[in-house]
Amino acid sequence: MEFSILANSFNKMESTRKRLELTQFLVELFEKTPHQVIAKIVYLLQGKLRPDFEGIELGVAEKLAIRAISKSSGITIKRIEEEYRKEGELGHAASVILEQKTQTTFLVEDITVERVYETLFKIAKLEGTRSQDMKIKYISSLLNDANPLEASYILKILLGSLRLGIAENTVMDALAIAFSGNKDNRKVLEHAYNVSSDLGKVAETIATKSLKGIEKFEIILFNPIRPMLADRVKSEEEAIEKMGNNFAAEYKLDGERVQLHIEGDKVVLFSRSLENISSYYPDIIEKIPKAIQAENVILEAEAVAINENTGAFLPFQELMHRRRKYKIEKAVTQYPITVNFFDILYCNGKSCLELNYKDRREKLEKITKENEFAKHIPMTIVKNDNEIKDFFENSINAGSEGLMLKMLDKSYQAGSRGSNWLKLKREYQNELGDSLDLVVIGGFFGKGRRTGSYGTLLLATYDEDTDTFTSICKVGTGFSDENLDQLYQILNPKVTIKKNPRIDSEMGADVWFEPELVIEVVASEITLSPIHKAALDKIKKDAGLALRFPKFTGKIRIEKAVEDASTNEEIITLYKGQKKVAHDKNLI
Ligand code: AMP
């Protein structure tokens, strides 16, 4: 397939943010795409080469790309940098430069999607001392044969700056229309995506095997399943109202969610945001297979740091010490953990997702043997609010965050948040009722004690409809010196020259960050705001929602993807909830 078809499509898509238009452009593109390249096209659309969980990063630095442009065009580095400064985006600058140049040269051959993809793939895999030179060679050879528009998109993909703003749901809408003629079939595609986390594979399956093939799509061991999420409740009474009077309560441990894929001695671990985190937990890899009595299995557990002497649970923050590439063995002994199983998703070649909670728990207990290191998360069946309160107390005393409440007769809903699982946390007793997970989008330089760090951060919620991050508050309290240091280390490499187009904020900032980090805050209230963009126009025309007295809780949620941050829909529910409480108390 000619790469120019894709470059032209990208160009059209960049000109709009409207979902319907984007869907239409995608449908047209998919209809022109031969089946054997559709997976590659779907990855490239998202600026990727493979699904996220494979961790393949292009990682080409701007400096290197500039050298490659210079090599292929013969134009000096200085001149390219000048153009870059003027244009603000390197892909675009390159196309301007090459535009002037193509008038004097001939294109050698048409480039294909396959060739671009293979070359990018080789670049991503290069390592070692000579890799820089080889990268320049590969990039310049592509640029040699590319027209200016193609060159600009090749560079954008390489630099990670291709941002078409296409949500996964939009891709699935377009696939459903292109290959089944009916958008409603997205539901079937969603299921396939939820169990494989691989949109390219989903696209290839529907293209080659039609709707029938995608209906039969099965879990693939070592491909992560998108996790089931819980709604929040504020009180035991609210839980009873929602769940009836017979459900399971489990401790909600404050650790890292780990999805374990195991076959024999092979173990792969995925985080909640589907990143491969196996290297941080060599102890799990070594010890867990011995505790499993099945040929293959996919399990979910909470890995929790413990006090070596007493065995007591320690807060999530302790696990951060394991986030290192080197000397992980030392961290493993310094920060010991236990693995606390709470679900089973696959066993002996068969999906367990359709089984109800009770049957899954039974199977889990049968297949995993408890020992010093591997445990079953404490669980009890509760029937009334006193029993919940009792178990809640026990769980808090044991060092956990509260309870997860789960319907007994419900299946596992991969990739969705719903009321079949509810979370009841201690923090809910604060005024707002819950902590929020917000995306860091901007920063303000600190003064006094905070010089050399970001003293205040600008935070955003996630808007699922538009796939954007909408500003909701500035936060400047709750930071310890250690937090400030840590945040500076994490955020500094994320500083951008221009605000990422997915950020929606009228409020300015000293610096903008790539929206990649989630932190936890509490607040006293949600109020209407003329400045902030969260839930704009949803409650009142021309007003968004903002947090009053926000405070950082000290938790940097590195395990959360930004798309898992608190959504505007959740904020609206909380806003309405606080209104209701005030109303019930006759305050308004
Ligand atoms: P939250 O991050 O506040 O939305 O809470 C959901 C998280 O709680 C999950 O992603 C897990 O990491 C964690 N968790 C702790 N205990 C449990 C449990 N018993 N069942 C499910 N998730 C749990």
pLDDT in tens, 547-565: 988 899 999 998 889 999 9
Chain mean position to CA 385: 35
CATH (domain of 510)? 2.40.50.140
For residue 207, which of 40, 387, 384, 439 has the smallest C-alpha distance?
Answer: 40
Q: Is the predicted pLDDT of residue 105 greater than 70, yes or no?
A: no
Q: Quick check: is 43 in a domain?
A: no
| Side-chain-facing half-sphere of 215: CA atoms under 13 Å | 5
CA–CA distance, 432 with 520 (Å, rounded to integer)? 14
CA–CA distance, 436 with 547 (Å, rounded to integer)? 10
CA–CA distance, 156 with 163 (Å, rounded to integer)? 9
Q: Is the predicted pLDDT of residue 101 greater than 50, yes or no?
A: yes
Q: Is the predicted pLDDT of residue 428 greater than 50, yes or no?
A: no
Q: Domain check: are 415 and 439 in the same one?
A: no
Query: Cα(460) to centroid of ligand 1, in Å?
Result: 22
Query: Cα(512) to centroid of ligand 1, in Å?
Result: 31
Nearest atom within ligand 1 for CA of residue 406: 20
Pull the structure tokens for residue 216.
């039969």
Pull the structure tokens for residue 46.
């998202």
Q: Quick check: is 186 in a domain?
A: no
Q: Domain check: are 399 and 491 in the same one?
A: no
Q: Domain check: are 421 and 442 in the same one?
A: no
Is 573 in a helix, a strand, or coil?
Answer: helix
- Give residue 15's pLDDT: 86
Q: Whose CA is nearest to atom 14 of ligand 1?
A: 252
What is the C-alpha R_g of the chain? 25
The pLDDT tens digits for 569-578 are 999 988 888 7
Name the domain count of the chain: 3
Overall average pLDDT of the 146-164 stretch: 90
Q: Domain check: are 454 and 567 in the same one?
A: yes
Residues with a known catalytic role = 252
Q: Domain check: are 419 and 358 in the same one?
A: yes
Query: Cα(403) to centroid of ligand 1, in Å?
Result: 9
- Give residue 232's pLDDT: 86
- Give residue 433's pLDDT: 62
Pull the structure tokens for residue 303.
């890995």
CA–CA distance, 312 with 314 (Å, rounded to integer)? 6
Q: Domain check: are 400 and 519 in the same one?
A: no
Q: Quick check: is 443 in a domain?
A: yes
Q: Whose CA is nearest to atom 3 of ligand 1?
A: 423
CATH (domain of 244)? 3.30.470.30
**pTM for the predicted model, two decimal places:** 0.79
Q: Whose CA is nearest to atom 7 of ligand 1?
A: 257
* pLDDT band at residue 586 under the 50/70/90 scheme: very low
Pull the structure tokens for residue 419.
């009321």
Q: Whose CA is nearest to atom 23 of ligand 1?
A: 252
Secondary structure of 248-307 in HEC code, one letter for each residue:
EEEEECCCEEEEEEEECCEEEEECCCCCECHHHCHHHHHHHHHHECCCEEEEEEEEEEEC
Q: Quick check: is 56 in a domain?
A: yes
Pull the structure tokens for residue 442.
């901007």
Domain with 141 in it = 48-159
Q: Quick check: is 318 in a domain?
A: yes
Share of the chain above pLDDT 90, in %: 66
Please indicate whether residue 163 or residue 467 has the higher confidence score (pLDDT).
Answer: 467
- Of 119, 139, 159, the one marking the end of a domain is 159
C-beta separation of 392 from 237 below 8 A: no
Q: Domain check: are 423 and 443 in the same one?
A: no
The pLDDT tens digits for 468-482 are 999 999 999 889 888
- Give residue 119's pLDDT: 96
Q: Is the predicted pLDDT of residue 587 greater than 60, yes or no?
A: no
Fill in the DSSP letter of residue 507: S
Q: Domain check: are 388 and 476 in the same one?
A: no
DSSP 90-102: HHHHHHHHHHHHH
Q: Quick check: is 14 in a domain?
A: no
- Give residue 354's pLDDT: 97
Q: Domain check: are 384 and 366 in the same one?
A: yes
Burial state string for 71-102 with b = 16 or more CB within 10 A and e = fewer than 16: bbbebeeeebbebbeebebbbbbbbebbeeee
C-beta separation of 415 from 228 below 8 A: yes
Q: How many CB atoms lie within 10 A of CB 179?
A: 25
- Give residue 572's pLDDT: 94
Mean pLDDT across the chain, nearest whole number? 90
Ligand 1: residues with CB < 6 A are 230, 250, 252-253, 257, 272, 302, 342, 377, 404, 423
Pull the structure tokens for residue 583.
């109303």
- Of 131, 159, 187, the one marking the end of a domain is 159
CATH (domain of 85)? 1.10.3260.10
Q: Quick check: is 339 in a domain?
A: yes
Query: Cα(36) to centroid of ligand 1, in Å?
Result: 39
Overall average pLDDT of the 265-291 stretch: 95
Overall average pLDDT of the 210-222 stretch: 95
Q: Domain check: are 254 and 356 in the same one?
A: yes
Q: Domain check: are 391 and 259 in the same one?
A: yes
Pairing of strands 229-232, 417-425: parallel
Which of 228, 229, 253 should be mutated for ligand 1, with most atoms under 8 A from CB?
A: 253
Q: Quick check: is 471 in a domain?
A: yes
Please indicate whether residue 397 or residue 428 has the higher confidence score (pLDDT).
Answer: 397
Q: How many CB atoms lie within 10 A of CB 350?
A: 12
Query: Cα(315) to centroid of ligand 1, in Å?
Result: 13
CA–CA distance, 406 with 250 (Å, rounded to integer)? 8
- Of 159, 191, 219, the one marking the end of a domain is 159
Q: Domain check: are 404 and 464 in the same one?
A: no
Overall average pLDDT of the 29-55 stretch: 95
* pLDDT band at residue 588 under the 50/70/90 scheme: very low
